[in-house]
Amino acid sequence: MEQFQYIIKDDLGIHARPAGMLVRLAMNYRSELLIAKQGDQGVSLKKIFTIMKLGIKCGDRVTISASGEDEQPAIAALRDFFQGSL
């Protein structure tokens, strides 16, 4: 299992547009990809409604994890996305 933590810097947090982009990115990988807000249980990055339900705001710390056959390239792509977009 690969994972990283990230503090959301986008003023709007993870709203519909970046959530949709995350889902499209996650669907390129076979691994189980999860996002968890600090203190919450992880939810799938492949389902937009589960991401939106977390209500992630600017300043929130999230943990992104990948588990499966392509976890390393998946976590690298997700890290790049978060650093460049959120």
Q: Which residues carry out catalysis?
A: 15
Buried b (16+ CB within 10 A) or exposed e, 28-37: ebebbbbbbb
d(CA 23, CA 84): 16
**Structure tokens of 48?**
């937009």
